[in-house]
Amino acid sequence: DAMVIQNPRYQVTQFGKPVTLSCSQTLNHNVMYWYQQKSSQAPKLLFHYYDKDFNNEADTPDNFQSRRPNTSFCFLDIRSPGLGDAAMYLCATSRGGSGDTLDTDTQYFGPGTRLTVL
Amino acid sequence: QQQVKQSPQSLIVQKGGISIINCAYENTAFDYFPWYQQFPGKGPALLIAIRPDVSEKKEGRFTISFNKSAKQFSLHIMDSQPGDSATYFCAASSMVAYKYIFGTGTRLKVLA
């Protein structure tokens, strides 16, 4: 059963045309993350939510925004996509909270959305 | 101090051989060290993870060796198979940060 679901799997947009990517989870995890991954590179964290608390990475461009309306869903909005924003966008979740079990910190990734900018 | 250095960048191993990937970190606050496997066009999938209170963890053909004093950890894939051909990422995090610092990745190719 899919635990972290991303839609769509492939998204094509035009230069400057806003796009929204979605992520949902069935794990009831507290933390949700958005990563950008370009070819042959490690995933780069854009931001994460701990419950409703939003945490932006210092080097994330203002062009990228996120919303988490409830525990299960999180959205990535790219307000004016540029050619350099073409990438795989990965959503991940983790349980968070206190405790020293491995599961507390483990991040579970979705299949990703491949964004193409024309 | 937040970096995780991963090597080698790429690795070619014969079927049945042992694949070894190494990572090193500086931040002693890190307390969780996972390894992820990623196939092209897919999201990373957790392989195995360890906390610094143990020096080794084994799950099937995959073993993490952890050296706390040297601040290094490594992934060993025993009896490597062509289906193991993928990119492997190490990562490190601290419980309070809820964020991973990823290594740069190792592209493994196992020859049939």
- Inter-chain residue contact B32 with A105, CB threshold 8 Å: yes
> By the 8 A CB rule, do A115 and A21 touch?
yes
List per-residue pLDDT tens for chain B, 112 residues long: 679 999 999 999 999 999 999 999 999 989 899 999 999 999 999 999 999 889 999 999 999 999 999 999 999 999 999 999 999 999 999 877 778 999 999 999 999 9
Rounded CA-CA distance A68/A79 in Å is 17
Rounded CA-CA distance B112/B27 in Å is 39
- Inter-chain residue contact A106 with B51, CB threshold 8 Å: no
- Inter-chain residue contact A48 with B98, CB threshold 8 Å: yes
Q: Is the dihedral of CA A85, A87, A92, A97 positive or negative?
A: negative
CA distance B42 to chain A (A): 5
Q: Touching check for B90 and chain A: CB below 8 Å?
A: no
Please write the tens of the pLDDT for every residue from A51-91.
999 999 999 999 999 999 999 999 999 999 999 999 999 99
Task: Mark A56-80 as b/e (b = at least 16 C-beta within 10 Å).
Answer: eeeebeeebbbebeebbebbbebee
Tokens of B69: 């004093």
Mutation for B interface: A30, A32, A107, A115, most B CBs within 10 A: A107
For residue A93, the cross-strand partners are: A32, A108
